[in-house]
Amino acid sequence: MRLKLNISVLYIIIWILYSLQGAIPGLSGPVSRVLLLVNLAISIYYAFVANSKYKLPVYFKGLNLMLIMFTIYGIILMVDPRPLYAHGVVAIDKFSYLKSIYLSLLPIYPFYVFTRRGLINESELKRWFFVFIPFMIAVYFHRQQQSELAAMMRGSGREEFTNNAGYMFLAIMPTVAFFKRKPFLQYANLALCMLFTLMSMKRGAIIIGALCVFVFLYMSTKTVSRSRKGWIFILSVALLAAGYYYVQYMLNTSDYFNYRVETTMEGNSSKRDVIYSSLWDIFITDLNALQMLIGSGACATLRYIGSYAHNDWLELLINQGIIGVVVYIFYWICFYKSYKRAKYNPAIMLALLLLLIITFLKTLFSMSYNDMEFFETMTLGYCLANISTYYEHLDNNPRLSR
């Protein structure tokens, strides 16, 4: 596999190295801070380039507005002299609020520009998939090892844990849409992503992943040519059968998997219901009219209950008020409109649909706007750039639109 060295490759390598801090000795401390600064500098630069030199899809209207809002609230948080704590005892670095949001959302801009400039295309995207997978597996097992070590230090004999790296495999799932010309490889990649999502024991990731698999199978059988429908049907049945037997295997061999299933069936939400009701009560009874409108400031949920909301909508309602929720609704409307514009290309449309499902559903029981993976934004930036290129080509060639 050959990857030509350019700014897009360097940017991705910086991202991979930054994400591996802790897993590889020497990448923490000063090195990680340098990687962070370089990463943010490149991302911010290309955000300005994208907005100043390109006619952007409607998605960016929502993204720009949302980033402006977060930046204003983040700056106010950093100049606020009051300290910030989680659970009343853990000191929080105030810059982490903006850092997590910038690292999550800003990469969409450089990946959009890189694609417009021809530095990233579908072939490059598929090549990077095979670079990201080993990296993600390494991160998965590193986090598993950390959990085991922590259990040993507590004197616990546990061997199975919930692994947040499951969301990484969920995040890269939309990229599988571009392997359409090699269905066996496509379905194998999809199965691999779902396998690690299941192994992670993250209930939210598993539910979203299962929905994405069904959507993928439905869209694949709907858009494939007649000559390939038979093969696609066989592969779909094989994938579903493999998933069924793996779940059965986990139920027969894993006490922790059974426990996670049982708690889900019983409605156990890991105390999210308590968090949600507490924050809603605060909004209804404790906030004045101005706070309801513009919120109580970034990370206000930490000040009120010592915890984040684990729900984007409640987090925004408390922090940025009704205005924040309206901005977020506008963002999702823009995302949906851009998805609808991709109907000319089944692969682009499927990738965007899966991205829309994954990122939107995460808003309901996790956090989405500050938790997008860089390879997830790479796929999103590529799809949006493809839409721009297609419609600009139509505008310049009116005959093609007839």
Q: 39-89: per-residue pLDDT in tens?
A: 999 999 999 999 999 999 999 999 999 999 999 999 999 999 988 888 777
Residue 268 pLDDT exceeds 70: no
DSSP letters of 105-163?
HTTHHHHHHHHHTTSS-HHHHHHHHHHHHHHHHHHHHHHHHHHHHHHHHTT--------
pLDDT on residue 237: 86
- Say if residue 402's pLDDT is above 60: no
- What torsion do the CA atoms of 354, 355, 356, 359 make, to the nearest 10 degrees? 120
For residue 246, pLDDT over 90 is answered with no
Q: Which two tokens stand for residue 128?
A: 């990077």
Report the pLDDT value the prediction gives residue 106, as an integer from 0 to 100: 97
Q: What is the pLDDT of residue 150?
A: 67
What pLDDT sits at residue 296?
Answer: 95
Instruction: Convert the pLDDT of each residue in 338-394 to its tens digit.
Output: 999 999 999 999 999 999 999 999 999 888 999 999 999 999 999 999 999 998 888
pLDDT score of 267: 64
Mean pLDDT, to the nearest integer, of 206-220?
91
pLDDT in tens, 35-49: 999 999 999 999 999
pLDDT tens digits for range 317-331 = 999 999 999 999 999
State residue 193's pLDDT score: 93
The type of residue at 16 is I
pTM of the entire predicted model: 0.92
Q: Which residues contact 370 (CB under 8 A, 6 or more apart)?
A: 100, 101, 104, 105
Burial of 54 (0-12, 13-18, 19+ CB in 10 A): middle
Look at the block and give the residue holding tokens 């219901």: 273
Work out the percent of the chain whose per-residue pLDDT is above 70: 92
Q: Which tens digits make up the pLDDT trace of 2-30? A: 556 789 999 999 999 998 887 776 677 88
- What is the per-residue DSSP string for 329-356? HHHHHHHHHHHHTTTT-HHHHHHHHHHH
Q: What is the pLDDT of residue 1?
A: 47
Q: What is the pLDDT of residue 152?
A: 67
DSSP-assigned letter for residue 21: B
Average pLDDT over residues 185-197: 93
* Segment 141-165 mean pLDDT: 74
Mean pLDDT of the chain: 89
